[in-house]
Structure formats: C-alpha cells, structure tokens
Chains A and B, each alone.
Chain A
Amino acid sequence: MKKFKNGVSIFYLAIIFLFLYAPILVLIGLSFNNSMSRTVWGGFTFQWYASMTQNDSIIDALGTTLRISIFSSILATILGTAAAVGICAMKKRNAQIMLGATNIPLLNADIVTGISMMLLITRFTHLGEASVMVSHIVFSVPYVIFNVMPRMQQMNASCYEAALDLGASPVYAFYKVVWPELIPGVLSGFLMALTMSLDDFTITYFTKGAGVNTLSTMLYTELRKGIQPELYALSTVLFLLAFGMLFLMNVKKEPNQNRKEAKA
C-alpha cells in the first residue's frame, strides 16, 4: 500500500514538473535552432551561443536587467521585512490599513501602476534607470510582506519574551529567536521579488528613461521582426546558471543537515 502511494505521489509530481518545464524545454530547443523563425526547425547549431556575447545591445540589456532586479529586490526585501515585523506589532485596525494599502499595487492592472508611477516621477524628476528601480520596488514589496507576515504571525511570541527575560538584548533575541523563524519567508519573498522584477514588461516600459532597455522591453519590440535567437540562448544560459547556483547551494547545505540529524 505504501509503495503504491509513493508511486502515485511520484507520478503526480512528475506530471506537475512536466507541466512547469515543458515550455522551458521548448525554449532550450529553440536556442539550438538554426533559423530566425520560431516555428521552423532549421537544423542544429551553436551559433547563437557564440554570437550572443558579441551582441552589444543584448549584453547592455542584460546588465541593466540584472542591476535593476537585484537592487530593487534587495531594497524591497529590507523594506518589506521591516514592515512585516512592524505591522505585526500594530493595533489591528492600523495593521489592516497598512495591509490594505499594500494590496494596491497587486490590485492595479500593470499598466495603471506603470502610468501612475510615470506621472509621479515625471512630476519631480526625469525618467532613467533609477525610476524603473523604484517602480519595481513598488510592485515587489507586497510579495515580500505576504511571504514574511505568515511566518511572523505563526511564531510563538513567548519564545522571544522568554529570551528577553533570560537577559538577552532585544537585538540578540531577535537575531537568535525571531530571525531564524523568518528566514524562509524572507528568502522566498526575496526570490519572488527578484523573479517578478526580472519578468516585468509593462511597468518597466512606462517608467524607463531614453536609451534604457531591459531584456523584457527588448523582447517586446522584437516581436515585430522575430525574436533574435541569441535571446533564447541567453535565457537558457541564465536559467542553467540559476539552476546550477541552486544546486551548489544545496550540496553545500547538506553536510550541515546531516550533522543536525546525527545530533538528534
């Protein structure tokens, strides 16, 4: 019975993974396609990987994309985590007002957020790269907050108080008691913020200054004449890098876990 159950579980997971990864496989396939059209198979080639690094506009866009995404998601994580910790200590009504406002960027259609941010920024200064960063923080902070809040709420407040009673300073108690509980939420919030930022088109389009291009905005304008296959190659490389990093992080983590288990 247990074996059967395991089998069903694995089968189910496999189906879900197939669903999630089918388009990825298609795109990786396209990066080896020797044709500018995405619906024609023109034979196998590595040329897009070779020409990718020579294409200035793509490398520029990649740099801009990474700068914007990393900065905005780090700032969003700091801002959002602090906010989540703070909101939890608020009176219920105030907390609800804060959370209600937090929802606004999620509720708005992207184009509305994009245009309203553009109106705000052009009123005070000019559009550039920083304006895109700020707008990205706007829509990614809610994801951080919604990932950290549940962690905060389900935490047992008495542990923290006990630590204080036992003479720990607030900072030390926070670091030792609260923070470990929050980390998974903070991390998944950060990752979500990062992925949202990497993916965004509409808000970036409306808030970017002249000559600023991210991979997304570049991609959209290319729909008209066919996407440069180098972009598939670049995406594949980025994807594999992300995968490799995850893999390494986990290999490194493993000995720790084993030790923990051994102790137990």
Chain B
Amino acid sequence: MNNKRQAYLAAPYGLWIIVCTIIPLLFILGYAVTNDAGKLTFDNLLAIADPVNLKCLMLSFKTSIITTVICLLLSYPVALILNSANIKNKSFVVFLFILPMWMNFMLRILAWQIILSNNGLLNSLLSALHIPTQHILYTEKAVILGMVYDFLPYMLLPIYNALSRINNDVIEAAKDLGANNLQVFTRVILPLTKSGVISGIIMVFVPALSSFVVSNVLGGGKVMLIGNVIEQEFTLARDWNTGSGLSIILMIFVLLAMGITQKQDNAGEGGTLI
C-alpha cells in the first residue's frame, strides 16, 4: 500500500482539527492561564487543589469507573449472546440497542425520574408486590443508573464489532487443540476483542467523567460532579477563567488515564485504538 498517499486522506481532517479543535482549545487555554484583568496566572489550574473541587473530581472518578465497569459487565455477555445465537437478523438486533437513543435524551432521563421517584412507577410496582419501596431518585445510585443507561450502547457496539470479526475457524482450531470453553474464552476470544473493549471503555469513561446533565436531573442537585463544577463556574459564578482552568486539568487527567489504558493494550497485541 502506498502509505504516503493514503495518509493524505487524513489531510482535510488535519485541517479541520486545527481550525475547529485546536484553535477553540487555545481560546480556552487563554482563559485558563489568565485572570480577570488578563494577567498571566496559574491560579485557575491550581484551583483543582481546592478541597471542594478535589472532592467533586474524586466523586466523578468514582461514578465514571463504576459506570464503566457496569457497562462492561452488562454488555460483554450481550455481545457474546448476540454473536453466538442463531438469530437471523443480527444487525437488526444490534440496531435495537441504539434505537432508544432516537428518543430525545432529556425526555428519556425525565422518564427515569417518573419511574424512580418516591411515588413513581417502580415503587408502585414494588408496593403492589409487598416489597419495601426504594429511595433511588436523587441519590448517587440514580446518577449511576442514568449514566449506565445512557452509555451502554457505546460499550456494546465496539465489543460486538470486535467479536463479530473473529473467524470461527480460530475458535474451532483452539477446540481441536484441546481447549475447553473457558480456555477458548480467556485465551482466544478475550485477547481478540481487547481493542473493542478498550475503545468501549474510552467511549464510556471519558464522557461519563465530564457529564453533568444526568447528575443534574437524576441527582436532584445533591450530587456534584466535576462536570457540574465546571458548568457552574461558566454560568453561576461567571468565572470563565476558573472554569477553563478546571477543564484543562480534567483533560490532562483523562489523557493520563487513557495513556495507561493504551500502555496496557500495547503490552498485549498490536491492535491498538489510540
């Protein structure tokens, strides 16, 4: 393959990145390293060390990690089942997983509010079955549930994509060579789907870390994530400098986390995503 020529295909995108990603980022960086008066300062970046901000950041990490793990645990079996099952129209079933996203996000989250509230549908159902009612809405549990709900397809699709590409012959060969089902899974299927899993993790973890709408609506204002802090700096506090500083710091954290994930992948086989 003529690599050089093929690489030119990315040229328009390179231009795009510079104009629509790098330059806007520079605007933000500009705000991040200056104060109201336009003087150079690092206070905005150091604002992350403020105990309140640090606490929100930790809570964000916690909820994002839990969300990612739950998404992974829920969607891997789904991908396996879909892949192995004798279903005529697999792509159709896969699309069924993205279809809910065609209802407006805000409406879906509001629907969860109706389901989970004190007198909501879930609790009505529970009390009809004589099971004690649950207080879920406006707690961390509700926020995690909302995020899992929102991000599940992002985890499922890449894993399923990776899984569907595995050649059946490889699995047959492993079995012929005496591997049992578990060994086939851990030695063949898992390594071959690693790149899918990693891109799934990134597609869930990263947006979860900076999200603030779910925590606003399902957290009832009681769950403050770093995304909420940044949003409030921009709006309520009218302090774009601190808001920008915090977003830059958040970005650095995410890049670090991704670097670690990527190393993990490089140590394995070549099929890296990032």
Q: Do chains A and B touch in the complex (CB under 8 A)?
A: yes
Q: Which A residues are closer than 8 A to B by beta carbons?
A: 6, 9, 12-13, 16-17, 19-24, 26-27, 30, 38-39, 79-80, 82-83, 85-90, 94, 96, 98-113, 115-117, 119-120, 134, 137-138, 141, 143, 146-147, 149-151, 153-154, 157, 160-161, 170, 184-185, 188, 191-192, 195, 198-199, 201-202, 215-216, 219-220, 227, 231-232, 235, 238-239, 242-243, 246-247, 250, 253-254, 257
Q: Are B25 and A116 in contact (CB under 8 A)?
A: yes
Q: Given A9-B85, A107-B251, are A102 and B271 neighbors across the interface (CB < 8 Å)?
A: no
Q: Are B14 and A98 in contact (CB under 8 A)?
A: yes
Q: Which B residues are closer than 8 A to A by beta carbons?
A: 1-4, 6-14, 16-17, 19-25, 27-28, 74, 77-78, 81-82, 85, 88-89, 91-92, 95-112, 114-115, 117, 121, 149, 152, 154, 157-158, 161-162, 165, 195-196, 199, 202-203, 206-207, 210-213, 227, 230-231, 234-235, 240, 243-244, 247, 250-251, 254-255, 258, 271-274
Contacts of B102 in A (CB 8 A): 195, 198, 238-239, 242
Q: Are A150 and B195 in contact (CB under 8 A)?
A: yes
Q: Are B13 and A150 in contact (CB under 8 A)?
A: no
Q: Are B74 and A250 in contact (CB under 8 A)?
A: no
Given pairs A23-B103, A107-B254, A112-B247, 6 additional interface contacts (CB within 8 A):
A24-B103, A99-B273, A108-B28, A115-B240, A146-B273, A227-B107
Q: Are A109 and B247 in contact (CB under 8 A)?
A: yes
Q: Given A26-B115, A79-B13, are A16 and B78 neighbors across the interface (CB < 8 Å)?
A: yes
How many pairs of A and B residues are in contact by the CB < 8 Å rule?
A: 257
Q: Are B1 and A85 in contact (CB under 8 A)?
A: no
What's the least CB distance linking A18 to chain B, in Å?
11
- A-B contact list, 15 entries, CB within 8 Å: A26-B121, A38-B114, A79-B16, A80-B13, A89-B6, A98-B13, A108-B210, A112-B28, A120-B27, A185-B161, A216-B104, A216-B106, A239-B103, A242-B102, A246-B96
Partner of A103, one of B7, B162, B250, B274: B274
What's the least CB distance linking B241 to chain A, in Å?
12
Contacts of A157 in B (CB 8 A): 1
Q: Given A116-B28, A120-B20, A239-B99, are A27 and B9 neighbors across the interface (CB < 8 Å)?
A: no
| Chain A residue nearest to B252 in the complex (CB) | A107
Q: Are A195 and B98 in contact (CB under 8 A)?
A: yes
| Chain B residue nearest to A104 in the complex (CB) | B21
Partner of B107, one of A185, A219, A247: A219
Q: Are A85 and B6 in contact (CB under 8 A)?
A: yes
| Chain B residue nearest to A174 in the complex (CB) | B6
Contacts of A235 in B (CB 8 A): 103-104, 107
Q: Given A12-B77, A134-B20, A146-B199, are A20 and B100 neighbors across the interface (CB < 8 Å)?
A: yes
Partner of B9, one of A83, A198, A215: A83
Contacts of A23 in B (CB 8 A): 100, 103, 107-109, 111-112, 115, 149
